[in-house]
Chain A
Amino acid sequence: MKEWFSQLDEKVYGKPLVYLDNAATSLRPRSVIDKWTEMSVKNNSNLHRAVHYTASKATEEYENARKQVADFIGAKPSRIVFTSGTTASINLLAFSFGECCVREGDEIIIAECEHHSDIVPWQLLCQRKKAVIKVLPVDETGHLCVDRLPSLLTEKTRIVCVSHVSNVLGIVNPISKIVDICHSRGVPVLVDGAQGIVHLPVDVGEIACDFYVFSGHKMYAAPGTGVLYASGDWLDRLPPYMGGGEMIGTVKWSGSTYAPAPQKFEAGTQNISGVPTWCPAITTAEALRRKDAGLSAIKEYVLEKLHSIGGLRLYGEPAFPEDKIPLFSFTVEGAHHEDLALILDKMGIALRSGQMCAEPLMDRFGVTGMLRASFAPYNTMKEAEYFIESLNKAISMLR
């Protein structure tokens, strides 16, 4: 499986690259790169617009991807909107949902562990509509205080926004339970699946959330690809976000009508070479999941070793193994996260350091930043061992 990902053969500073920044973006397999270039080399044409052969070929690839994405999460293709990524999906939703459903004084509940892209679009909406944000807190172990949710929900709550898995804590949030609580009060739920979709089987019917969003680049597909799934008739009720070509029914000076969803939300020329890479990316994800056993062993090993390092604080302590994806954010007493990242970089290890696009969560834990190692199925036990060994070495250099 390692041979699918040619970047694993790269050397940095003369050392083999140990890529542990998978939560930021995954590596891309050969099959995805092949599809991506094929779309530029052979099938480049704009979509939907022309009757010629190549246009219909490109359109077929694009719509096939929609079908495969829909199958992957147990949805209908007509409920899948293609965007440029999670951030774009949430901005679209915050705008369109805001236009249709949010008024002055209304409330939006956001989990404390959210990525900036599930916070700032809602703040922009709240500024526009004079609505307010309420925060669903996380506890010391990184688990959402779901028992606080019922009392946060009021007559004025319009939507609840929560990640499937936080990009800092790695804890699998109890989203079905959250959806149940919210739905019993008539409140819709957005799930940010940017991290969840990579490691967990997702069936939107079972989760029963109203909206589920994710990015292609974190799960092996081309960058600049993303998905907004919406349940039931949400896409028919929401007004469009961007206007332009391809999203319309008719355009007259007296006014325009719109195409049915999902085209209503896909204005302008789309990512014609990126979107078809969803197909090989999903095939890869499914194949890697079947071989997931190795990753659980790595997760167990890293967790145990990190716990044994003196002065190390892990954020997101799992209650049981499946409670966490193989993503570890931590701080070390007497060793600044940035110093550690810099030294480990020179040892060939790619990690993330800093606020990780979750400043409110950094404030929650009283830190200026953290160091994060996030593993993918193509990482090996040997790499995990090298990471732990190097981390220990770096800490002793700094102390």
Chain B
Amino acid sequence: MTLSEAKQAVVEDFSMYDEWLDKYEYLIELGKKPGPFPESSKTDEKLIKGCQSRVWLDSKVENGKVIFSADSDAIITKGIISLLIGVYSGRTAEEIADDDFAWLDEIGLRENLSPTRSNGLVSMIETIKKIANSLRDNG
């Protein structure tokens, strides 16, 4: 799946639900899937600042592609970061750095989170972009 196909797939998934509570159910299901994220990686450097709950994001490069993994102590937050990772993991640093992240507005995620959570989303996006930018510039 290309990046734009992956984004389109999420937008379509989301459009099936009218109610925000149903969208949360969807995010909760995503968040409940245990990601491979070892406790030892839950360090302060990997903590995303600006979230009310704790979110850790880790990244590595394999065959020229950025692989993300993440965890959070709150399930909806974990669902959101899983959503982001599902779309961006396995892409090149250039692809991620050049993306406009506009699909998040299309699914209404940004405006439908509480202000603190929405700040958290902004921080997640910023962190993903920062990682991609530095990999591109150094790679």
Contacts and interface: CB of A to CB of B under 8 A. Distances in A.
Given A13-B20, A346-B20, A368 B113 contact: no
Given A346-B21, A397-B24, 17 more contacts: A13-B20, A336-B74, A338-B74, A338-B77, A338-B117, A339-B28, A339-B76, A342-B114, A343-B76, A353-B52, A354-B52, A368-B53, A368-B73, A369-B52, A397-B25, A397-B28, A398-B75
Interface of B: 20-21, 24-25, 28, 52-54, 73-77, 113-114, 116-117
Contacts of A368: 53-54, 73
A345 B114 contact: yes
Contact of B116 (A336, A339, A346, A354): A354
23 contacts: A13-B20, A336-B74, A336-B75, A338-B53, A338-B116, A338-B117, A339-B53, A339-B75, A339-B76, A342-B76, A342-B113, A342-B114, A343-B21, A343-B24, A345-B114, A346-B20, A346-B24, A353-B52, A368-B53, A368-B73, A369-B52, A398-B28, A398-B75
A341 B21 CA distance: 12
B24 A336 contact: no
| B interface: dominant SS | helix
| A interface: dominant SS | helix
A393 to B, nearest CB: 9
Interface string A362-399: 00000011000000000000000000000000000110
Of A339, A397, A398, which is in contact with the most chain B CB atoms at under 10 Å from its CB?
A339
Interface string A315-354: 0000000000000000000001011011101110000011
Nearest to B53: A338
Nearest to A345: B114
Contacts of A13: 20
A342 B116 CA distance: 10
Interface in A48-82: none
Of A13, A336, A342, A369, which is in contact with the most chain B CB atoms at under 10 Å from its CB?
A342
B19 to A, nearest CB: 8
B73 A342 contact: no
A338 B113 CA distance: 11
A368 B74 CA distance: 11
Nearest to B113: A342
B66 to A, nearest CB: 28
A391 to B, nearest CB: 14
A87 B114 CA distance: 25
Nearest to A354: B52
A353 to B, nearest CB: 7
Contacts of B73: 336, 368
A354 B120 CA distance: 14
Nearest to B24: A343
Contacts of B52: 338, 353-354, 369
B53 A347 contact: no
Contact of B114 (A336, A341, A398): A341
Contacts of A345: 114
Contacts of A398: 28, 75
Interface string A202-213: 000000000000
A353 B116 CA distance: 10
A345 B21 CA distance: 10
B56 to A, nearest CB: 14
A172 to B, nearest CB: 29
A347 B114 CA distance: 13
B25 A339 contact: no
Contacts of B76: 338-339, 342-343
B34 to A, nearest CB: 14
Contacts of B28: 339, 397-398
Interface in A151-195: none
A247 B52 CA distance: 42
Nearest to B77: A338
Nearest to A341: B114
A68 B87 CA distance: 61
B38 to A, nearest CB: 20
B75 A347 contact: no
A349 to B, nearest CB: 12
Nearest to A13: B20
A336 B20 contact: no
A398 B75 CA distance: 7
Contacts of B75: 336, 339, 398
Contacts of B77: 336, 338-339
A368 B51 CA distance: 12
A354 B113 CA distance: 15
Contacts of A347: 21
Nearest to A335: B75
Contacts of A346: 20-21, 24
Contacts of B21: 343, 346-347
Of B54, B76, B113, B116, which is in contact with the most chain A CB atoms at under 10 Å from its CB?
B76
